[in-house]
Amino acid sequence: MNSKILVCYKSVTGFTKQYAEMIAKEMDCTLMNFKDVTLETISQYDTVVFGGRCYAGAIDGLKKAKELIAKGSVKTFVVFATGATPNSEEKIIQSAWEKNFTRDELHSIPHFYMQGGLRYEKMPFIEKLMMKAFAAVMKNKVKNKKDKTEEDMEFERVISNSYDISSKEYIEPLVSFLKEKK
């Protein structure tokens, strides 16, 4: 077991936990739910990998994780975010990074994005309500559009229902980074 790396996560619908488990298994290291992580805990590790979902552009738990890391003696802090946005939507993902990191942090904290999907059945009630309302608005917008593209039709389809586009391949850049650091 690699006792120098901690992978911790904050997960709501399960995608972030799923990716954290994959990373921890691949790196043969410690895995913890972020709610159980303390300053004393992180001080035992050289590298801390934090994962949170990206929701409305904000990464759940990242602010608290950065505060905890700033107080500790961690040498390497790595962040990954999960979300429903496909990996190919680089501008949207970059915008989220810029919203969650200062300019200096963007250059000093390695960060990775992993697409997951939507799990309406695991969303908190208010979030589910908001997403369903958003889906209805978007469906109507696409419905009334004269020249529907294939992307419009796909977006309308995926926003309406739960789906899972997660894949082990999306952890590879982060895992490669960690292996190079060893």
Residue 156, pLDDT above cutoff 90 = no
Residue 145, pLDDT above cutoff 90 = no
Q: How does residue 168 score in pLDDT terms, banded at 50, 70 and 90?
A: very high
Mean pLDDT across the chain: 91
Residue 142, pLDDT above cutoff 90 = no
How confident is the model at residue 143, as a pLDDT?
A: 75
Q: What is the pTM of this model?
A: 0.88
How confident is the model at residue 155, as a pLDDT?
A: 72
- What average pLDDT score do residues 10-35 get? 97
From the list 84, 87, 46, 42, the residue with the least C-alpha distance to 65 is 42
